[in-house]
Structure 1
């Protein structure tokens, strides 16, 4: 069964926003995470897949989905068949935060606040429709307390874990666990088999590996350039 909604991507975006509309992590992490989420949504839509070894992108179908954000994802991923995810994700992540934020703003979920005078600072996206985030968090908190996850919930916890943002996205008091147990709970859900519909769980694992490789490469390059 396929779905033509970017629900994992938009849900991850809401999860990583602070109350002031800024992401909990600045820099590349948010964009890379959104690229991984968009990959998983396109896998769920039957447009993309990953190779058996989990390292390369497979483009299965480039026909439009009817959703503007998914179709933007196809534009970013659709000509990368056979490429390693560690090289695909950085390109797909470029300005993706703005694309997702604007997509949600058009639907009344967030509002866009321009980044200071002349737009020199990152945009902010304060949440307008707080009911959606509240419902999203209630479901994920239940999963972290032991409930069985849906495909999307499993993907979201996996992506948050891959980005190493678990205790920034979820507060121990919110979940009712101490920090150590919360970290272990997130890790356990992320590393579980999950519902596994249409290869989404495997796509998230592959995206996480690609994100880690890309972030590591960027960090090494930055360090070498400054030495």
Structure 2
């Protein structure tokens, strides 16, 4: 899922975040919203400032998506910039649990002198390496970008973290060139079915208006 991919990009192999926790939280929320859209559980209204509509509140087999969906049920019709700031909408512990079950990470020592949360230490870096290789190829036109590539790039750009998190993948593009390239990919990404088109539309909104302004304070 996109939230698993983004988690690996936003954390170091020792489990420490690449960015401040607020940025990471908003980014993970955006990723789980994309996952729910791909699962056909939510959609966005066709507005400049879209609202999030819950389409299906039925049972969900994935614990991560089920937890997010339960929170969204109470926010039906709220604007995207407000929804993306919901505290712990994407439960990062459930993300790391799923990665641990797959053998990608394992829980290590607790931070903050043994009083903090257990860190999820990467066991198999191959998955993140594959994600980064795919993003680099998409950025430099070496392959047709997939919806997942464009969504991850859009979220990172919206957080203003793409130059930091993807420094090697973006090279030799400078900051301005990288921003323009990601914008182009978001506006010209493959869409496929109606769900794909909806996610592509959200990518453009997330990248240009939502995540960073949302940090300052979203509206309902």
| Over 4 Å off, 4+ runs | none
Other structure's SS at 2:46 match? coil
Displacement of 1:202 after TM fit?
Answer: 1.5
Residue aligning to 1:163: 159
**TM-score, scaled to structure 2:** 0.84
Q: Is the 8 A contact 1:158 1:204 kept in 2?
A: yes
Q: May I ask how many residue pairs the two structures share in their alignment? A: 209
Q: CA deviation at 1:107?
A: 2.3
More deviation in 205-214 or 131-140?
Answer: 205-214
Candidates 127, 131, 140, aligned match of 1:132: 127
Are the structure 2 counterparts of residues 129 and 79 from structure 1 closer, same or farther at C-alpha, using a change threshold of 3 Å? same
- Which of 1 and 2 has higher RCO (CA within 8 Å, sep 6+)? 1
Give the 5 Å matches for 1:58-207. Answer: 58-93=53-88, 96-113=91-108, 114-120=110-116, 123-146=118-141, 147-172=143-168, 174-180=169-175, 181-190=177-186, 192-197=187-192, 198=195, 199-207=198-206
Root mean square deviation, CA, Å: 2.2
Structure 1 residues 105 and 86, CA, compared in 2 at 3 Å: closer, same or farther?
Answer: same
Contact 1:55 1:84 in 2 (8 A): yes
Cα deviation, residue 97, structure 1: 2.8
- Bigger drift between 64-73 and 202-211 goes to 202-211
Q: TM-score, normalised by structure 1?
A: 0.82
Equivalence for 1:3: none
For 1:212, the equivalent position in structure 2 comes to: 212
Q: How far 1:22 sits from its partner (Å)? A: 1.3
* Long gaps (5+) in structure 2: none
SS at match of 2:64: helix
Q: Distance in 1 between matches of 2:155 and 2:126?
A: 22
Q: CA deviation at 1:127?
A: 1.5
Structure 1 spans left out of the alignment, 5+ residues: 1-6, 219-227
| Residues 36-55 of structure 1 aligned to structure 2 (within 5 Å) | 36-53=30-47, 54-55=49-50
Go from structure 1 to structure 2 and tell me whether the alpha carbon gap of 1:179 and 1:13 turns closer, same or farther (over 3 Å shift). Answer: same
